[in-house]
Structure 1
């Protein structure tokens, strides 16, 4: 799996022991991996620092007030718009270079370049740029936030960290140091730790859908609501994921709630768990997110011991994507996971 040498290279800059901000490290790591998978080799090798800074300005230009007044002439919006224009220039240059040279890469940028509409029209440079920006936001924000929450909870409730380490030992007994998609899929303990962190801290404040026909909703208490065609229906994952009639002790971190015999995420049907949305417009990046976070924490579990030394983090409600407030400081110490034969 190509991520293994990349992760080894990234974490090689850490010493034998020390203290780091886990939030910063995972944010930086995930934008690196996402940019390579989604934006292409040229950005990763030559333009990453520039593109990363521009995405930072784009990110800071997405504030709650932006929903109501997206073009309000505030400094954050002005920086956002300048960054968007500069990104368009960068990607236009890369697209023209690829087309002129005839080279083809295995990344999402190439997929967008080669895509055609039903009528045969190719995607324009502007359309490719917009798609890339949307893809990176989807592939970077939620993954970095969820990776950090996963680590914070496993370090707060150390029994789950220990269980995840034992799972790694079991996997290594079967497969050695090899890591691929199928091997990551065997890591049920780690999967449940990630999923539970995401249940408690879904990055999106609200999900919106438009009703295409009149329908009624009956609550479990028997109240009936009429939803007219054309109206916007909203739900909050933060609220829905903590409903006490679905989740036992909903405010507690309990990854085992998703395990065999409990499966609380199925208690009320397909939409009991909506951290990735659901239905026709559910998040297409869900498999990629789990793959990415599992790969990162597999490397960390196999190579480091950790201790959370800062207070347990809180939600940062000041952005469109709910992140983590402040630093998440951890002590680390290198150690190679040993498997008993």
Structure 2
């Protein structure tokens, strides 16, 4: 029997001679199959979004963007960090030291922060209409701003969006605080109106009035935006982040706007996805929370977003807001409005 080793060497020699004598060709052959890449985990950039309230359905667009992988598709891993309005901008302004790249905040807060020397800028507007409302039982007329004259109006305190909405309404109506009675009632607006402690109160249009209706109370509502609209909530970042990593800002805004678009298109899906981000103890009445989301939708879009795209910031509105805030004494000096926001990261382009 022929030795197996000799046979093998003979076969190899024949193959070698055949390969060397074969004609060459310049016609490209099928591209060789690349060696499979080693298994690697995708690298994500860790960012923190400081949110100006507790986990809440009002943040649905951001929850949807996270749940549907839109941030991940941009290479971003977002941590939601819940705070309060007077803290988020300070943290965003000191990026990267603070670790907070993005913050949810209002345009009024950005203007106040810039006057204080904080280099922050709004890069995306969520609320196109200021979300505060005046509300009362149906026996109290609230057809126009003139109906506020002579009324006792309950507000949480002389701070924040509810207070600014009151001052803006008085400003638009040619009134001062002397024309109304302002009563500080803390965050008890719904109960205060229901129990007739105050005839009128301020609150979020998609919250307190919805709560009262859910309890069978008929209410009249006067939207602050219908009296005097103000620059409202969106996403703000530091000027340093824009200068050093504009692509990160662009990716974050793009993913967030995808979440917003999906929320507007399918609020039921958005509600269900958002529940995984809100602790069960804070959910409360699910039917009520679903209605809160439904009534938020009109505040996130208007004729400008139809023209320029979701997230657009209205420069004219910001200028009117700055003028009002100076008139009301909220700003002690002019603020350069065009440095306080940018549209370069949203579909509408620059201001």
TM range (shorter): under 0.3
Task: Choose between structure 1 and 2: higher strand proportion.
Answer: 2
More helix by share: 1
User: What TM-score comes out, normalization by structure 2 length?
Assistant: 0.24
Q: Which has the larger radius of gyration?
A: 2
